Amino acid sequence: MPKSARLAVRKTYKLYIGGAFPRSESGRTFVVNGDNVALASRKDARDAVVAARAAQPKWAGATAYNRGQVLYRVAEMLEARRREFTSLGVKADELDAVIDRWVWYAGWSDKIAQVTGGANPVAGPFFNLSAPEPTGVVAVVAPASLLGLVSVIAPAVVTGNTVVVLAPEPQIAITLAEVLATSDVPGGVVNILTGKYAETAPWLAAHADVNALDLTGVTSGELAAELERTAAGTLKRVIRPRQDADFTADPGLRPMTALLETKTVWHPKGE
């Protein structure tokens, strides 16, 4: 080795919980592509739910305009960090799709209520309005690719939910976390856990303070069924796994509406 060669500073990939990057409380790591990355524990999953719950009311209560601005800022940061994602093996056209997808969702923040809510013409003297509201805290088993990851995170957060994401590709996911952490996304809105989702997902599926479970990234049918059964205990909303999902296609409204409740308010209309 020549004397002048500079030794690179390696990045440690940790978890992303509550806006911070802690190691797993368990002290466990595993090796992915030569990096030691954090292996999330059940306690980390619970901590992430606490962070997501704490952040949820304020995030949902932010103006739609504000949420849209924050999301758009994420797209700016993604664009700026293209090179880093490329070095992790993300292809240029996927990056284009990721950034465009994120921008697309950012624009939904102040439109989804108009498209999915509205006045109901009831047969009587009532003012009757339906409006969407976030389901709350969503636990997500994310697909491996960056495009898959943003395709499950963006629809959840743009609608005012907060998420706990189990991500199979740690380096890509934690690099996305660094994007989020520097994009005005409030701490706790997105929490990312790396490790073995088969280990942590059952705890999230059973967690009484998790309102919905997105199984898009689950690759085992058996595990998916088991997680669905567990989620039934608290009647969580479940998004089923989609092995054949084409994340480059127009996702439509379903990824957003699946994580929304509809609230209808009636008031008499009279003098």
Partner 1 sequence: MFEYAPAPESRSVVDIASSYGLFIDGSFSSSKEGGTFKTVNPATAEVLAEVAAAGHEDVDRAVAAARHAFGSWSALPGSERAKYLFRIARIIQERSRELAVLESLDNGKPIKESRDVDLPLVAAHFFYYAGWADKLAYAGFGPDPRPLGVAGQVIPWNFPLLMLAWKIAPALATGNTVVLKPAETTPLSALFFADVCRQAELPPGVVNIVTGAGDTGAYLVQHPDVDKVAFTGSTEVGREIARSVAGTGKRLTLELGGKAANIVFDDAPIDQAVDGIVNGIFFNQGHVCCAGSRLLVQESIAEELLFSLKRRMSTLRVGDPLDKNTDVGAINSAAQLARITELSEIGASEGAERWSPACELPDRGFWFAPTIFTGVTQAHRIAREEIFGPVLSVLTFRTPAEAVEKANNTPYGLSAGIWTEKGSRILAISSKLRAGVIWANTFNKFDPTSPFGGYKESGYGREGGRHGLEAYLA
Helix crossing, 170-181 with 64-80: angle to 10°? 120
Residue 249 touching partner 1 (CB under 8 A): no
Residue 233 touching partner 1 (CB under 8 A): yes
Contact 167, 194 (CB under 8 A): yes
**Closer Cβ to partner 1, 30 or 126, answer by number:** 126
**Closer Cβ to partner 1, 9 or 235, answer by number:** 235
Spatial CB neighbours of 14, under 8 Å, sequence gap ≥ 6: 21, 22, 23, 37, 38, 174
Q: Which amino acid is at 243?
A: Q
Residue 66 touching partner 1 (CB under 8 A): no
**H-run or E-run covering 262:** strand 260-268
Of positions 28, 73, 82, 237, contacts partner 1 by CB under 8 A: 237
Residue 114 touching partner 1 (CB under 8 A): no
Strand pairing category for 162-167 and 190-194? parallel
Contact 200, 193 (CB under 8 A): yes
Select from 196, 117, 112, 124 the least CA-distant residue to 154. 112
**Closer Cβ to partner 1, 29 or 135, answer by number:** 135
| In the complex, least distance from residue 185 CB atom to partner 1, rounded to whole angstroms | 23
- In degrees and rounded to multiples of 5, residue 237 shows phi and psi of -70, 135
Residue 211 touching partner 1 (CB under 8 A): yes
| In the complex, least distance from residue 1 CB atom to partner 1, rounded to whole angstroms | 55
Residue 261 touching partner 1 (CB under 8 A): yes
Residue 268 touching partner 1 (CB under 8 A): yes
**Closer Cβ to partner 1, 20 or 253, answer by number:** 253
β-partners of residue 166 are: 141, 193
Q: How many CA atoms lie within 13 Å of 193's alpha carbon, on the beta-carbon side?
A: 33
Q: Which two tokens stand for residue 150?
A: 């943003």
**Closer Cβ to partner 1, 178 or 261, answer by number:** 261
Residue 130 touching partner 1 (CB under 8 A): yes
Of positions 19, 104, 126, 144, contacts partner 1 by CB under 8 A: 126
DSSP 11: P
Stretch that binds partner 1, among 13-21, 67-75, 86-94, 122-130 (CB under 8 A): 122-130
Residue 248 touching partner 1 (CB under 8 A): no
Residues that bind partner 1 in the complex, under the rule CB under 8 A: 115-116, 120-124, 126, 128, 130, 135, 211, 221-222, 224-226, 228-229, 231-235, 237, 240, 252-253, 257, 261-268
